[in-house]
């Protein structure tokens, strides 16, 4: 419901974002995740993965481990509207090799 409202506010130009969080309870596997969705895999109350399609043009699925016991690891927070902030930055080592931050649901490209 909040998601629909966020999409409406974006259409009206009152809110801006490229990604919204969608909570799921299992890793989606190698499926294509719809553009604009960042799937947050929460299993047993713990954040496990953040999965989304690469925004750099190649569209491959990016899976970021949120497990604090693994390296590398990322952290995902989101605001009231479900706009994610991911840290640190994401650097694709293959395919399009893009490098970016996701902050408040927006993509900030790194020049390198
Ligand atoms: Zn890419």
* CA–centroid distance, residue 19 to ligand 1 (Å): 15
Distance CA 111, CA 60 (A): 20
Beta bridge partners of 80: none
pLDDT (tens digit per residue) in 55-101: 998 989 999 999 999 999 999 999 999 999 999 999 998 889 999 99
* CA–centroid distance, residue 37 to ligand 1 (Å): 15
State the pLDDT confidence band at 2, using cuts at 50, 70 and 90.
very high
pLDDT of residue 111: 80
State the pLDDT confidence band at 16, using cuts at 50, 70 and 90.
very high
pLDDT of residue 89: 97
pLDDT of residue 42: 97
pTM: 0.93
> What residue ranges do the domains of the chain occupy?
18-109
Which residues are within 5 Å of ligand 1 (an ion), measured at CB? 54, 56, 58, 95-96
């Amino acid at each position: 419901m909040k998601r629909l409202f966020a999409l409406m506010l974006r259409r009206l130009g009152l809110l801006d974002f490229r990604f919204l969080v969608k909570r799921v309870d299992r890793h989606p596997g190698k499926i294509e995740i719809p553009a604009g969705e960042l799937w947050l895999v929460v299993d047993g109350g713990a954040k496990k993965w953040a999965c989304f399609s690469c925004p750099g043009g190649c569209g491959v699925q990016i899976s970021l481990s949120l497990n604090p016991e693994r390296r590398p690891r990322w952290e995902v927070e989101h605001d009231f509207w479900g706009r994610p902030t991911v840290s640190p930055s994401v650097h694709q080592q293959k395919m399009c090799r893009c490098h970016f931050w996701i902050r408040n649901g927006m993509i900030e490209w790194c020049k390198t």
